[in-house]
Amino acid sequence: MIAETRITDIMWEAVKASVEAGKAIMKVYETDFSVSNKSDNSPLTQADMESHAIISMVLDATNIPILSEEGKDIPYSERKDWPVFWLVDPLDGTKEFVNRNDEFTVNIALIENSYPLAGVIYIPVTDELFLGLPGRGALKFEHAMNLIGDCENLSKLLKSGKQLPVNQDTRPYTVVCSRSHMSAETEAFIEELKSLHGQIDYASRGSSLKLCMLAEGKADMYPRFAPTMEWDTAAGQAIAESSGASVVHAHSGRRLQYNKKELLNPWFIVKR
């Protein structure tokens, strides 16, 4: 078990890494960047690779192993014995990045014994940062770049955070789904929800912004009946759970688990 003081120290490194990676991503975003395809036909850009390099360099100092989308070819025989590791998506929402709709994030999670212990999500376009931390719950920081520049440690930064969820007063039951990966199963599930809740508001978001909406209290449910990988959800799960939401297997109701032999997530449901 990682001591709470140690978590605070190492998550400060994760926070700084996410913002530095976000700066590099935005520099590429403002150019006429090129796009290539990985072996699974998903897009890859210079921003993905630069973000991965920056995060790896910063987190290496923590002496905790790193499993990243852009460095995922670590044999299961090696990583299965990791009690603690970083799980990183250097640019979550590359499709959104390529489509220039601004809905992409940097995701860094600290995994302990196969479950998310803490997580940070940085949104480069809006300069917002979400943090889930044991003993402190979930927090949101606006103007994150300046805040972090004015702080020398995480304890000082935490004083500037907004505790989540934020009271949304009265609003219709709200479901958020993927902007790029809607499925027939998801549509059928939403129809069932309408019979339970009557009026439903519906929102589409890219990347881990959906999990941020649940953490903020701006949505009540995120059903995901389409493929995701472990690095897509780990940081968001840490933040959502820290805010009081649950992230569970759609059929068994168990918390999503990480560092499986196959890194593909099962279908899952996030709910408040």
Domain boundary among 104, 137, 164: 164
Statement to judge: residues 68 and 179 lie in one domain: no
d(CA 148, CA 151): 5
Whichever domain contains 182, its CATH number is 3.40.190.80
Residue 112, classed as helix, strand or coil, is strand
Tens digits of per-residue pLDDT, 194-244? 878 778 898 999 999 999 999 999 999 999 999 999 999 999 999 999 999
Average pLDDT, the chain: 94
Residues 88 and 134 in one domain: yes
Is there a single domain that holds both residue 109 and residue 208? no
CA 35 to CA 43: how far, in whole Å?
A: 6
Dist. CA 95–CA 47, nearest whole Å? 12
Whether the pLDDT of residue 171 is over 90: the answer is no
Boundary-marking domain end, from 147, 164, 181: 164
Task: Give 104's pLDDT tier (boundaries 50, 70, 90).
Answer: very high
Together in a domain, 18 and 49: yes
- Residue among 51, 62, 129 nearest 92 (CA): 51
Range 10-14 average pLDDT: 98
- Residue 182: the pLDDT is 66
Question: Residue 68 and residue 18: Cα distance in Å, rounded?
Answer: 13
Of the candidates 45, 215, 62, 61, the residue with the CA atom closest to the CA atom of residue 129: 215
pLDDT at 5: 81
pLDDT in tens, 74-91: 999 999 999 999 999 999
Domain C-terminal end among 164, 192, 223: 164
| CB within 8 Å of 38: residues ≥ 6 apart | 44
Predicted TM-score (pTM) of the model is: 0.96
Report pLDDT digits (tens) over 117-146: 999 999 999 999 999 999 999 999 999 999
- The half-sphere exposure of 246 on its side-chain side, counting CA atoms within 13 A, is 9
Residue at 8: amino acid letter: T
Count of domains in the chain? Answer: 2
Statement to judge: residues 143 and 203 lie in one domain: no
- If asked whether residues 179 and 102 sit together in one domain, one would say no
Average pLDDT of span 56-68 = 97
Q: Which residue segment(s) compose the domain that 214 sits in?
A: 173-271
CATH number at residue 26: 3.30.540.10
Can you tell me the mean pLDDT for 16-38? 97
Distance, in Å, from the CA atom of 130 to the CA atom of 210, rounded to the nearest integer, reads 12
Same domain for 179 and 98: no
**Assigned token pair, 176:** 């958020």
Whether residue 156 is found in the same domain as residue 52:
yes
Query: Of the ranges 11-15, 202-206, 266-270, which one carries the lowest mean pLDDT score?
Result: 202-206
